[in-house]
Amino acid sequence: MRLLVVEDDPDLNRQLVTALTDAGYVVDTAKDGEEGHYLGETEPYDAVILDLGLPVLDGVSVLEKWRRNDKKMPVLILTARDRWSDKVQGFDAGADDYVAKPFHMEEVLARVRALLRRSAGHASSEIACGPLLLDTKSARVTVDGNAIKLTSLEFRLLAYLMHHKGKVVSRTELVEHLYDQDFDRDSNTIEVFVGRLRKKLGVDVLRTIRGMGYCVSEPDDAA
């Protein structure tokens, strides 16, 4: 999953990026509203963490511009303001959730997980596909109750496909959502990790749709 953090405080920006990266996300960052707005317009993000009190362009204006341009990624707003009216303004601009500063980083991580689940149509932290179970909270994968050891990249790939279970996901979409802007998009990394995942999982749930991409589906539905 690929996230954008728009926060002008350098220490908090760094802390957020570190925590989210350690949790297995790919994170891009911006330190003012103008840069954040540009990235949100031009790059595909699964979720955004957006401070309201930004220089150059404030967070509410950034969010309003995104929503007017039909950018639908879930947005978690950060605010140090105590007035309830500021939170209402953020929600009216199109925010999906908020956290008030100061906050515990675990709360931000939990709210991001919830936003990602809801945007993909999942109510629980556990996403199942036949004997395969992925827990987004613990980052644990099991098959028939047996834990499967995955690398960070393998888990990210599987998690994205599981969040979009039953849908065909193109290689281009996977690259855009699993790697940062500097990734070599002509490499065959996705194909390599899909092959490794199939071997490790040992169940027929990860399908290649020739000429289209990849799909996680119930074993009985596999072609």
Determine the Cα–Cα distance for residues 71 and 94; give it in Å rounded to an integer.
10
Shared-domain flag, residues 91 and 190: no
Say whether pLDDT at 223 is over 50.
no
What pLDDT is attached to residue 184? 62
Query: Which residue among 81, 99, 120 closes a domain?
Result: 120
Last residue of a domain, one of 65, 86, 120: 120
Residues 66 and 137 in one domain: no
215 pLDDT band (50/70/90 cuts)? very high
Contact 201, 133 (CB under 8 A): no
The total domain count for the chain is 2
* pLDDT at position 13: 97
Same structural domain, 103 and 11: yes
| Domain with 153 in it | 126-221
Instruction: Give the tokens for residue 220.
Output: 């009985």
pLDDT at 81: 66
Residues 80 and 130 in one domain: no
pLDDT score of 25? 92
pLDDT at res. 122: 77
What's the average model confidence in pLDDT over 160-187? 83
55: domain CATH number is 3.40.50.2300
Give the total residue count for the chain: 223
- Tell whether 6 and 114 lie within a shared domain: yes
The pLDDT value given to residue 146: 95
Q: Are residues 102 and 159 in the same domain?
A: no
Q: What CATH number is attached to the domain comprising 159? A: 1.10.10.10
- Clarify whether residues 97 and 7 are in a common domain: yes
Are 106 and 29 members of one domain?
A: yes
Q: Do residues 47 and 86 both lie within one domain?
A: yes
pLDDT in tens, 179-193: 776 666 666 788 888
Are both 16 and 93 inside the same structural domain? yes
Q: Are residues 62 and 172 in the same domain?
A: no
Across the chain, what does the average pLDDT equal? 90
Q: Shortest CA distance to 39 belongs to which of 52, 29, 53, 47? A: 29
* pLDDT score of 182: 61
Q: How confident is the model at residue 222 (pLDDT cuts 50, 70, 90)?
A: very low
Considering the domain architecture, whether residues 7 and 26 belong to the same structural domain is answered as: yes
Last residue of a domain, one of 98, 120, 142: 120
- Using the CB atoms, write b or e for 152-186: b if 16+ within 10 Å: ebbbbbbbbbbbbbeebbebebbbbbbbeeeeeee
pLDDT exceeds 90 at position 68: yes
